[in-house]
């Protein structure tokens, strides 16, 4: 079954954007960009909220810029043909290989898991990831951690009341400043003959 992953850049104190909405943190370089190129190769479909979708629209036409570097062109060549599902209450149309979600998040993920195809179901954006986390739909959390404390903003992890146990799958220094942490959600097996609330 296709796994659901949530990956984002994050400050050391746990935010994907600071109080001013910025995320131009020290440490982003060619090595980090190459890491994201490698990550996107394993994605079969990307789920986005409106804000992230609008941010990523840049790549639809970026290749027309003659100043674009080789790595940026490689990213665009992978990102643009990737199927995307956009969750929005305000957008009436989307561009490129994107489509607007026709159902709720759980319904869309169930449909995508049932479809033939390879690659992960990637979630981008903290709001959408929080909804998926609350519904127990995320299989892996992947954080690219930057050496900065921003003191507030949009948190990487959802603020809910439920405990989620994680298993460390991988940790790696991407560059001299940036670290990658990959954790898998530990699913608790339900004993045979027991319901969700126990025997």
pLDDT digits (tens, 9 = 90+) for 21-77: 888 889 999 999 999 999 999 999 999 999 899 999 999 999 899 998 999 999 999
In the predicted model, is pLDDT for residue 100 greater than 90?
Answer: yes
Asked, for residue 113, whether it belongs to a domain, the answer is yes
All residues at 6 or more sequence positions from 191 whose CB lies less than 8 Å from its CB, including other chains: 199
Asked, for residue 102, whether it belongs to a domain, the answer is yes
Range of the domain at 160: 4-185
Q: How far apart are CA 88 and CA 161, in angstroms?
A: 25
Q: How far apart are CA 46 and CA 170, in angstroms?
A: 22
Asked, for residue 134, whether it belongs to a domain, the answer is yes
Residue 155: count of CB within 10 angstroms of its CB? 16
- Give residue 189's pLDDT: 67
Query: Is the pLDDT higher at 165 or at 1?
Result: 165
Residue 86: count of CB within 10 angstroms of its CB? 22
pLDDT bracket for residue 191 (50, 70, 90)? low
Write the CATH number for 176: 3.40.430.10
If we measure between CA atoms, which residue out of 130, 133, 144 comes closest to residue 38? 144
Asked, for residue 193, whether it belongs to a domain, the answer is no
In the predicted model, is pLDDT for residue 86 greater than 60?
Answer: yes
* CA terminus-to-terminus distance, the chain: 28
Asked, for residue 164, whether it belongs to a domain, the answer is yes
Asked, for residue 198, whether it belongs to a domain, the answer is no
Asked, for residue 196, whether it belongs to a domain, the answer is no
pLDDT bracket for residue 199 (50, 70, 90)? very low
Q: How many domains does the chain have?
A: 1
């Amino acid at each position: 079954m296709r796994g659901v992953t949530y990956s984002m850049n994050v400050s050391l104190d746990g935010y994907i954007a600071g109080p001013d909405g910025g995320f131009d943190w020290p440490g982003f370089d060619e090595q980090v960009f190459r890491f994201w190129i490698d990550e996107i190769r394993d994605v079969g479909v990307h789920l986005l909220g409106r804000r992230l979708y609008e941010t990523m629209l840049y790549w639809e036409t970026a290749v027309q810029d003659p100043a674009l570097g080789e790595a940026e062109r490689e990213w665009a060549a992978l990102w643009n043909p990737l199927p995307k599902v956009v969750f929005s209450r305000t957008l009436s149309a989307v561009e490129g290989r994107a489509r607007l979600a026709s159902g709720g998040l759980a319904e869309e993920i169930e449909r995508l898991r049932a479809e033939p195809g390879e690659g992960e179901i990637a979630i981008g954006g903290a709001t959408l990831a929080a909804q998926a986390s609350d519904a127990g739909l995320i299989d892996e959390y992947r954080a690219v951690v930057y050496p900065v404390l921003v003191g507030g903003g949009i948190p990487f992890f959802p603020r809910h009341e439920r405990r989620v146990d994680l298993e460390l799958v991988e940790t790696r220094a991407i560059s001299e400043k940036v670290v990658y942490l990959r954790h898998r959600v530990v699913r608790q097996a339900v004993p045979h003959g027991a319901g969700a609330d126990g025997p």
